[in-house]
Amino acid sequence: MKSLESLVRPNIWRLAPYSSARNEYSGHEAHVFLDANENPYNRPFNRYPDPLQRELKAQLSKIKKVPAENIFLGNGSDEPIDLVYRVFCRPGIDNVVAIEPTYGMYAVCADINDVEYRPVPLDEHYQMDARALLDACDENTKVIWICSPNNPTGNSMQQEAIETVVREFEGMVVVDEAYSDFSSAELFRTKIARYPNLIVFNTMSKAWGCAAIRLGMAFASRECVELFNKVKYPYNVNLLTQQQALEALNGREDVEKWVTLLLQERGRLTAAFRELPICRAVYPTDANFFLAKMTDAQAIYDYLVAKGIIVRNRTRVTLCENCLRVTVGTKSENAELLSALRQYPQESRRAR
């Protein structure tokens, strides 16, 4: 890869970050805090949280098998997505390359940051072509986005193809593993020491059942994490989120149980979908959701909404015409969905 300095926006490389009150006395024990203009009452909520989330990172390091210095924590995964653009991409000059279809925030953040977004379509099996991704790059391509397991298709990208991109691309490669807890594929976060241009995302929102607390993770080289810390807002992860995440990490047995149940239900639900007259195909998935090609996705979606059942209509997404994305719910929720679909109006079935 190119040197990190050559990839980073010059103003970011030179940036003198905001120095928070809680960083300045680091390394010393303190018990009287008169430095941050805080109200001395209403503990513990009167105090600013640890800006670097040290205790939480120490616990995550044990679970994720990644050194704490290689972990960045953000307000959901959307914050590190945005930081990748703000750190590496010069507005109006640089570009990024991404698989298509994929998670929509990569493109949204590109537009927000005035960065050209170059989508490269997956093949008919929803697999990426490493050579096509690399061929879409030029001297101003700073980042390649790969989501695996991918959203909305659900499948994992081939490991060899991802490694080819990481090895041959001179810029940064982001592998988003938000759904990796539901997959048996090898984890790319274990490879960040081997590839200094690799950034890997994960989240507390999916397998850990903590979408409400908004905690995303980025695993990367120490130098890259330091750049993210320079640019992020000083107290980006609030105290309540840090406390709830620590509590959740103590319940790993629950998470393992949830994943097992969801995988069992995923198998049952996808098998039932294949038997539906209104379903044309169910695509392979390594996530807690699946993509199903229907006879008329919009009509079926509207029918389900009227019954109070919400799935995601992906028919307007590239390569996903007439497709619904269905999240695996509880056994009773899944049963209600299947019951509704089995009663879908006969006239709609004949119209397919």
Asked if residue 348 is part of any domain, the answer here is no
Of 228, 251, 274, which one is at a domain's C-terminal end? 251
Express each pLDDT in 304-343 by its tens digit. 999 999 999 999 999 999 999 999 999 999 999 999 999 9
Structural domain count of the chain: 2
Of 251, 266, 299, which one is at a domain's C-terminal end? 251
Question: Which residue reads 């209509």 in tokens?
Answer: 313
Confidence (pTM): 0.94
Share of the chain above pLDDT 70, in %: 97
Could you tell me if 160 and 192 lie in one domain?
A: yes
Of residues 26 and 92, the one with the higher pLDDT is: 92
Express each pLDDT in 143-161 by its tens digit. 999 999 999 999 999 999 9
Give the containing element (helix H, strand E) for 297.
Answer: helix 297-306
Query: Which pLDDT band holds residue 26 (cuts at 50, 70, 90)?
Result: low
Query: Which pLDDT band holds residue 29 (cuts at 50, 70, 90)?
Result: confident
Query: Which pLDDT band holds residue 23 (cuts at 50, 70, 90)?
Result: confident
Q: Which domain CATH number covers 21?
A: 3.40.640.10
Could you tell me if 245 and 109 lie in one domain?
A: yes
Please tell me the predicted confidence (pLDDT) of residue 347: 45
Question: Contact, 57 vs 71, CB < 8 A?
Answer: yes
Asked if residue 96 is part of any domain, the answer here is yes
User: Using CA atoms, how far apart are residues 181 and 63, in angstroms rounded to an integer?
Assistant: 12
* Overall average pLDDT of the 265-289 stretch: 98
Asked if residue 120 is part of any domain, the answer here is yes
Asked if residue 352 is part of any domain, the answer here is no
Closest Cα to residue 60, out of 41, 80, 46, 74? 74
Of 192, 226, 251, which one is at a domain's C-terminal end? 251
Helices H, strands E: what count in the chain? 14, 11
Does residue 132 register a pLDDT over 60? Answer: yes
Please tell me the predicted confidence (pLDDT) of residue 30: 83
Question: Contact, 84 vs 172, CB < 8 A?
Answer: yes
* Overall average pLDDT of the 177-183 stretch: 97
Could you tell me if 190 and 75 lie in one domain?
A: yes
Asked if residue 118 is part of any domain, the answer here is yes
For the chain, give the mean pLDDT.
95
Which burial class, exposed, middle or buried, applies to 138 when counting CB atoms under 10 A from its CB (0-12, 13-18, 19+)?
exposed
Please tell me the predicted confidence (pLDDT) of residue 27: 59
Does residue 67 register a pLDDT over 60? Answer: yes
Please tell me the predicted confidence (pLDDT) of residue 28: 67
Express each pLDDT in 200-221 by its tens digit. 999 999 999 999 999 999 999 9
Please tell me the predicted confidence (pLDDT) of residue 21: 74
